[in-house]
Amino acid sequence: GILLCGEPGTGKTLLAKAVAGEAGVNFLSISASQFVEMYVGVGASRVRGLYEEAKENAPSVVFIDELDAVGRTRGIVRGSGGQERDATVNQLLTCLDGFDGKGDVITIAATNRPDVLDPALVRPGRFDRKISIPKPSFEGRIEILKLHAQKKPMADDVDYEVISSLTEGMAGADLANIFDVAALNIIRDGRSEITTDDLVDAINSDEIGLQLELKRSMDFLRKLALNEAAPVVVSLNFIDSKDVQMVSIAPKGARLQGATRVRIDSGKFILPSISRQTMLDHITVQLAPRAADEIWNGPDQFCTIWADTFQNARLAARELVFAGLSDKKELYGLYDCLYELDRINEVDAEALRILNICYERAKK
């Protein structure tokens, strides 16, 4: 058997169908949740029926989606529900052993929780071939975008590289949804083609939410505009964050304040490889709203609109100290600081020093 592991929407089911299609064999698909019922014995009966049908239509591929719904470690769940689940797993193990080596029926399963599966399911001879299905890369997203674009009325000048750069971390299903949202938007506006801006708006509405109509005072809007503009102005001085894509003070989804999107090189912002200078630049940008508030309104008129970004800066400063990237170069992360008061004070003092330096840097 083959076990496909990956987050939801990465194309595990599609890959299993492609395997069957390329091999020219029959494809039988079922969700593991369909095996389990309240009556003991129903799940095992359905497993037997599935494999009997697969044998009758051999050569064939059996695909079991969401295997963790039934294949969790046996003995954990008590009562009749646990007995039904255990009996289903036992029957699945029997079928896997029964068809092993005959070559006429191949089983492919998919899960996003391989860590909870029963050890007997993943031992050699059963689901021993584990294939990780990651989210698509930059180039992979471009190809997926172009594939979905074939089914939609697209403008000739759509920039798929820009869209790919804005969809870092999205799975194939997320990319498909972007086109559906964009298509609905152009229908609502009475237009016939999807443009790059339509796709960008679809990404924003998917990640941030739809725009809300809220009445807010002019004083609050001024403070909000300052809060969103300040980090943009500061980030323009840093090469890793100067490509600003969007700034908005319109309330969207759960974000009742504003939103800013900056195009970054994701490779530089992976935590294990992030550089000291990149972290210092990030802290400086996060402190920019407070610095702008002080410069624009004065220290006596501070407000708390920048509290979230200030918290981000504080956490980043502590992370920098723990990693040994501060001027002290001491690896505080080697110590169990949670139980050593002196170490906690040292970390906080060094983090505060870094925050003060970056704050003055942001004010300049």
Q: What amino acid positions are annotated as catalytic residues?
A: 228
Q: Of 299, 220, 312, whose CA–CA distance to 258 is shortest?
A: 220
Q: How far is CA 182 from CA 162, 190, 194, 199, in A?
A: 16, 12, 7, 6
**What burial class does residue 94 get, using C-beta atoms within 10 Å of its C-beta: 0-12 exposed, 13-18 middle, 19+ buried?**
middle
Cis peptide bond N-terminal to 59, omega within 30: yes
Q: Of 273, 292, 282, 275, whose CA–CA distance to 237 is shortest?
A: 282
In sequence order, what E strands does 58-183 have?
A: 60-65, 105-111, 129-132
Report yes or no: 334 and 318 within 8 Å, Cβ to Cβ.
no
Report how far Cα 145 is from the mean position of its chain's Cα atoms.
18
Report how far Cα 15 is from the mean position of its chain's Cα atoms.
20
**Which residues have C-beta within 8 Å of that of residue 181, sequence separation ≥ 6?**
202, 205, 206
Q: Of 134, 135, 206, 201, whose CA–CA distance to 169 is shortest?
A: 135
Report yes or no: 8 and 16 within 8 Å, Cβ to Cβ.
no
Q: Of 345, 282, 330, whose CA–CA distance to 309 is shortest?
A: 282
Report yes or no: 60 and 25 within 8 Å, Cβ to Cβ.
yes
Backbone angles phi, psi at 34, to 5 degrees: -75, -15
**SS percent in the chain: helix, strand, coil, step 5:** 55, 10, 30
